[in-house]
A and B are shown apart, each in its own frame.
Chain A
Amino acid sequence: MNFELTEERRMLQDGLRRYLRDTVTPALIDAATEDASGHSDILWQGLAEMGVIGALFSEDDGGFGGAGFDLAVVFEEMGRAGAFEPLIESGILAGGLIAALGTGDQKALLEDVIAGGSILTLAHGEPGSRYDLAHVETQAVAGDGGHTLNGRKAVVVGAPAADRAIVSARVSGGVRDGDGISLFLVPLDADGIEMRTYPLNGGGRAAELTLTDVRVAEDARIGPEGGAFDALEAAHARASAAQCAEALGLMESIRELTVGYLQTRKQFGQPIGKFQALQHRMADMLIEIEQARSATINLAGHLDAPRAERERHVSAAKNLIGRASKLVVEESIQMHGGIGMTMEYALGHLAKRLTMVDHRFGDTDWHLERFIRLSAA
């Protein structure tokens, strides 16, 4: 039993923290928000050069990490800085699916992904799917040495920054069946793809995709025909771990801001941190952040566990992180008072981003119900 980071991970953590602190300035956040891509090319290239994208892949796939605790280190720092690059989408979801299912030829793309030259995303969720990973209405019809795709994809985070997307589509079965889902790697400028892009709460951009008779060649299929669900679920487990770690980093930054504010803001002739009502709320917030760290550790440490155990930890962590996030957001804004509600002060961006954590990969209640089902099994 050991809760220390390895020397290599500590170096990655230190280097990344310094780099992000110097690089993710309010000016960079504004520029990324304004840009049509919804991200910062400077930051993306910097992350690639530091090996941060590679840290999300195993050595076999051309990276130098890929374990749960590599993800945890990277995304805690991304959260701490309030950064919003499509790292989960390109590195863990789409890149991870190619690493898990791709042929040798398909995996060749990963070199460019790790080097920062190509940005990928996963177009899986649909207007009616909410958090159900098996819900796929988009159709793929085989024929003429490939497939024809028709359907809609919702809130595809990172699509405006990406050059290619992995699109999920149904080749057989009913709308909510796990069986019958195939994945296809599609250039986002392919004929028949209509993309409506928009900015996101908490930073970054996403898109609604409409696919009309999009033709893809046979070698565009990633993984077995109709058999992608297990890999999709495993990739989302890793994405959930990254999301939990990012939330933890956001919480740590918000904690620092809030404690600093309590120490310096004076009302009634003294720092407001001298008031017991606020001290106790802050102490409770601190305890929940420690719990959030433990939940993240638990999940990161079980990503390679058998499916049932892994998924039980996914739901436990997402439920706890969801509750802790709500507490940290609402309490930090309340303890700051009016300044906590402005976008002129750092808390605003962090609090919005932390709020959105509960709207990705399943929310607090969805995971609580799922945890019960997984525990009963």
Chain B
Amino acid sequence: MDLTYTDAQKAFRDEVRAFLDERLPRRLSDKVAGGKRLTKADYEEWHAILNDKGWLGVTWPKEHGGTGWDAVERHIFEEETTRANAPRIVPFGLNMLGPVLMKFGSEAQKAHYLPRILDGTDWWCQGYSEPGAGSDLASLKTTADRDGDHYVVNGQKTWTTLGQYADKIFCLVRTSKEGKPQQGISFLLIDMDSPGVTVRPIVLIDGEAEVNEVFFDNVRVPVENLVGEENKGWTYAKYLLTHERTNIAGVGFSQAVLANLKRIAGLEMQDGRPLIENALFAAKVAQVEIDLMAMATTNLRVVAAAAAGQAPGAESSMLKIKGTVIRQELNHLTRRAVGPYALPFVSEALEDGSNAEPAGPDYAMPAVQSYFNNRKLSIYGGSNEVQRQIISKAILEL
């Protein structure tokens, strides 16, 4: 038992810190810290800086231009970049499609797509959920019918995060109605500028259009865009979902939110004293801080097991549930902390270079937006109820 990093791991952490000091643009970290909107160009700028260093393919092996880091090194990198308020790495190409192509894609697909993910040529989005297929993903209805050397795709995807920026979408489509629903699904790569593709933004309760609906109307897709075998897409989709999802516990995010919460509660005055000195409020903050301290160690225990070669199974379901409960509670307390200034919503003030002043303190609006936006945490990536089913089956064998 040793709760500290090895000397080599400490040296690596120092290297990451030095890199962030030197290369993370202040303009970007200020936006992240201040809860401002990040543009496509902002994400691309940060991706390019990481790629220049060889640190963009965090989960990728070296042979494909990745870092080759083990689980502990990835954890350190995530912890440090989160702490430094770096923009997140957009996960769709890098953490989702990339590993699937490496495992199931053809040589031609790997050679063509993987470098374009790293150098930013392609921005990918994810076409999984449909209006009628959420937690029950296998019930999806978007069809791909074979017509010569093309598939003809018809249907609708939804909750497509940052689809408005995407050049390409990886989709689960139905290629057969035979057998169980899981058996007729294929994994298809589609150009977003193909004729028949329409994107419609969805405004969420935080006032932002982060997600979209994507419609497919007789979209013709070359057969070489099929990944792996026809009707085996469910296997690849599950691999994507259970593939070591990095940072599922969100410990670094929670630590950053906790620090921000304490800062805000130290500035907000209630009955003549800083809110953080109110016994009831302080107790709520302390309670979630204690949970987070334990969660950080729970996370490290899973990380250490992964670094030792054990594939995390249902443990990641436990991390997801507890991690999202903690983040949501922190978001809740931060919203409560800002008081009456939780009410104003001045959307323009979130824009880069806008002259619009927020009403009240500048931390108020992002606090409320994060609260609304992060309701998603317990819904996406397999809702927390689905995670409980996984635990129940895989660990408890009920």
Name A's B-contacting residues (CB within 8 A). Answer: 1-6, 9, 69, 259, 262-263, 271, 273-274, 276, 278-280, 282-284, 286-287, 290-295, 297-298, 300-302, 316, 319-320, 368-369, 371-372, 375
Whole-angstrom distance from the CB of A174 to the nearest CB of chain B?
A: 25
Whole-angstrom distance from the CB of A255 to the nearest CB of chain B?
A: 9
Closest-by-CB residue of B relative to A280 is B388
Query: Residue B304 contacts which of A1, A316, A320, A371 (CB distance < 8 angstroms)?
Result: A1
Contact B289 A375 (CB under 8 A): yes
Contact A290 B283 (CB under 8 A): no
Contact A1 B289 (CB under 8 A): no
Whole-angstrom distance from the CB of A212 to the nearest CB of chain B?
A: 41
A69-B1, A291-B322, A298-B293 are contacts. A3–B398 as well, Cβ < 8 Å?
Answer: no
CB neighbours (8 Å) of A368 from chain B are 283, 286-287, 290
Contact A316 B297 (CB under 8 A): no
Contact B1 A280 (CB under 8 A): no
Contact A290 B318 (CB under 8 A): yes
Contact A262 B398 (CB under 8 A): yes
Whole-angstrom distance from the CB of B260 to the nearest CB of chain A?
A: 16
If over half of A's interface residues share one DSSP class (helix, strand or loop), that class is named, otherwise mixed; here it is helix
List B residues 313-356 near A (Cβ within 8 Å). Answer: 318, 321-322
Contact A259 B396 (CB under 8 A): yes
Contact B1 A4 (CB under 8 A): yes
B294 at the interface (CB under 8 A from A): yes
Apart from A279-B396, A316-B289: 15 A-B pairs, beta carbons within 8 A: A1-B2, A1-B3, A1-B5, A3-B301, A283-B388, A284-B388, A287-B391, A290-B318, A294-B301, A297-B301, A316-B290, A316-B293, A320-B290, A320-B291, A368-B287
Contact B1 A274 (CB under 8 A): no
Determine the interface band of chain B, counting residues with CB < 8 A from chain A.
35 or more
Contact B392 A283 (CB under 8 A): yes
Contact A372 B294 (CB under 8 A): no
Whole-angstrom distance from the CB of B328 to the nearest CB of chain A?
A: 15
Query: Residue A372 contacts which of B286, B296, B385, B397 (CB distance < 8 angstroms)?
Result: B286
B202 at the interface (CB under 8 A from A): no
B379 at the interface (CB under 8 A from A): no
Whole-angstrom distance from the CB of B381 to the nearest CB of chain A?
A: 16
Whole-angstrom distance from the CB of A368 to the nearest CB of chain B?
A: 6
Query: Residue B396 contacts which of A283, A292, A302, A320 (CB distance < 8 angstroms)?
Result: A283
A69–B1 Cα gap in the complex (Å)?
Answer: 7
A280–B318 Cα gap in the complex (Å)?
Answer: 12
Contact A287 B293 (CB under 8 A): no
Closest-by-CB residue of B relative to A275 is B398
CB neighbours (8 Å) of A3 from chain B are 1, 300-301, 304-305
B198 at the interface (CB under 8 A from A): no
Whole-angstrom distance from the CB of B39 to the nearest CB of chain A?
A: 37
A104–B389 Cα gap in the complex (Å)?
Answer: 59
A292–B72 Cα gap in the complex (Å)?
Answer: 22
Closest-by-CB residue of A relative to B300 is A1
CB neighbours (8 Å) of A4 from chain B are 1
A69–B318 Cα gap in the complex (Å)?
Answer: 24
Closest-by-CB residue of B relative to A67 is B1
CB neighbours (8 Å) of B296 from chain A are 294
A360–B195 Cα gap in the complex (Å)?
Answer: 71
Contact A319 B392 (CB under 8 A): no
CB neighbours (8 Å) of B388 from chain A are 279-280, 283-284
CB neighbours (8 Å) of B72 from chain A are 1
